[in-house]
Amino acid sequence: ETKRETDYAKPVEEDNHILKVFQKKYPDAEVLLACEEDVTDDGNKDLVVICRIEGMTRTIVVIDSGDNENYQFSTPIPGPVENQKIQFKNIDKEGEIEIIITGEKKGAVGYAIYRMIDGEPVDLFGEGMEDCC
């Protein structure tokens, strides 16, 4: 196993608390991948979900306020259609951890790097996602 493969975030368990909150808000969404990391630098684990809603693949970030009650849902943004993977990296060594999403569509590979700004994932740099997703 190469080091590169171990960089990908592991999917959360099906009984993950935030995943259940997500499924309650989006009962018809098919969850393709859900990974947990503190992407807002507030000490609470947040959930990055790639899902299929009404035939469209979307990425949604669920921000945990830390009280186990209040969660903020980001606006759904396009997500990769196939072979989705999520990495979390502190690229610029600033507070927030960047979210790197990779995937494919019909063999075309794309990726995008997001940082959470004011509760929304902002695309810092993406390549191939227009064709991919």
Average pLDDT, the chain: 90
pLDDT in tens, 58-108: 999 999 999 988 999 999 999 999 999 999 999 878 788 999 999 998 888
The answer to whether residue 116 scores a pLDDT higher than 70 is yes
8 Å CB contact between 88 and 100: yes
Q: Residue 117: what pLDDT?
A: 92
Tokens, residue 125: 């740099």
8 Å CB contact between 97 and 39: yes
The rounded distance, in Å, linking the Cα atoms of 63 and 23 is 14
Q: Is 47 exposed, middle or buried (0-12, 13-18, 19+ CB in 10 A)?
A: buried
Q: Is the pTM of this model over 0.75?
A: yes
State which of 1-10, 22-31, 123-132 shows the largest mean pLDDT: 22-31
pLDDT in tens, 77-88: 999 999 999 999
Which H helix or E strand runs over 110? strand 108-117
Tokens, residue 78: 């396009």
pLDDT band at 133 (very low <50, low <70, confident <90, very high): low
| Percentage of residues of the chain with pLDDT beyond 70 | 89
Alpha helices in 1-133 (DSSP H): 3-6, 17-25, 129-132
